[in-house]
Structures are given as structure tokens and as C-alpha cells.
Amino acid sequence: MRITKTGLALCGLYLIVSFCFVISAQFVSDPKGKYIFLQMPVVLQHGLLLAFDTTRILKNMSWVEIYLVLGLPMLGFLVLLGSLIESFVFKIWAGNNR
């Protein structure tokens, strides 16, 4: 697997959106609203843990730890997704130029 521009763009977008949610959560006075904003960057990964009934690993973790446990693998997934997208597009483009 190689790191592609598409993968880096997806990772950058994910990090920017996550950062915006975390910053927005700091200005919300409602605890429920703050919780919603803080969980948004990792909600898909949390849903996957719920599907496998493994959410107990997140018990007693801070938000920083949760972001590290769930967010870092997401970055790896996005790099892989970007690589797959670029290889797929390249195969289509190369096939049309024959």
C-alpha cells in the first residue's frame, strides 16, 4: 500500500472536520450538546464497536484516549481507501486509452 494524494486529502478532511467539532464543543454550554459534538468524529467507529458488542474497551477513557484508539485506525483506513480509489480510477483511465 502506498500513500496517495487522495488518501492524504481524505485524512486531512477528516482531521479538519474532527478539529472543528472539538473546538465547537468547547463553546457549547449544554452538557448533552457538548457530548454530541465530541462524539461526532468517532461515531462511525463507535457504531462498529457497538455492532461487535465491544464498547466496554472505551469505559473510563478520556476523549483524547478515545480519539487515539478510534481515530488513528480511521486515518489508516482513509489512506487505504484513497489508495484503492486512485488505483481504481487509474485502471479505468488506462482501460479507456487502449
pLDDT tens digits for range 38-87: 888 888 898 888 898 888 888 889 988 988 998 899 999 999 999 999 99
> Taking Cα atoms as reference points, which of 39, 38, 12, 17 lies closest to residue 27?
38
Global model pTM greater than 0.85 = no
Specify the number of domains making up the chain.
1
Apex 38 CA angle, 36 and 41, nearest 5: 100
State the Cα–Cα distance between residues 76 and 66, nearest whole angstrom: 16
Q: Residue 23 sits in which domain range? A: 5-96
| CA-based end-to-end distance of the chain | 26
Enter the C-alpha cell of residue 81: 481507501
Burial class for 69, CB neighbours closer than 10 Å (0-12, 13-18, 19+): middle
Per residue in 48-62, pLDDT (tens digit) is: 888 988 888 888 899
